[in-house]
């Protein structure tokens, strides 16, 4: 089955710093989502981005489907950005999501 690898596994930032999280996947996909899992365990949708670039405030994401990777950019990080960031992919648009292992982000004040 498809493999999803996220890097780095852990990241510690000072408030105000920028960061880039990477997601590599081993096969062609038609669905890719980025999530933020907050300390209470809730998975919050960040982006639905099977290809192209999107921006939402301080966050942006780019997926290069032909090269099988996606990047999540966080600018001017805040302590509330702390948590685990997951990338998840699916072969087809309605199918099951396959998650990576996540990147645990800690933003220090």
Partner 1 sequence: GAGVSQTPSNKVTEKGKYVELRCDPISGHTALYWYRQSLGQGPEFLIYFQGTGAADDSGLPNDRFFAVRPEGSVSTLKIQRTERGDSAVYLCASRRGGGQGDTQYFGPGTRLTVL
Q: Which is nearer to partner 1, 12 or 44 (CB)?
A: 44
The verdict on 63 binding partner 1 (CB under 8 A) reads no
The verdict on 93 binding partner 1 (CB under 8 A) reads yes
Looking at the DSSP assignment, which residues form a beta bridge with residue 65?
none
Q: What is the DSSP annotation of 56-69?
A: ETTEEEEEEGGGTE
The verdict on 71 binding partner 1 (CB under 8 A) reads no
How many angstroms separate the CA atoms of 35 and 89, rounded?
Answer: 11
Binding interface with partner 1 (CB under 8 A): 4, 31, 33, 35, 40-43, 45, 48, 86, 88, 93-102
């Amino acid at each position: 089955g498809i493999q999803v690898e996220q890097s780095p596994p852990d990241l510690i930032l000072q408030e105000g710093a920028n960061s880039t999280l990477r997601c590599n996947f081993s096969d062609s996909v038609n669905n890719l989502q980025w999530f933020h899992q907050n300390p209470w365990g809730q998975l919050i949708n960040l982006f639905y981005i099977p290809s192209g670039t999107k921006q939402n405030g301080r966050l942006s994401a780019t997926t290069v489907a032909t090269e099988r990777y996606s990047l999540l950019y966080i600018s001017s990080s805040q302590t509330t950005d702390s948590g685990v960031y997951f990338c998840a992919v699916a072969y087809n648009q309605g199918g099951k999501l396959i998650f990576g292992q996540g990147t645990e982000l800690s933003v220090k004040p």
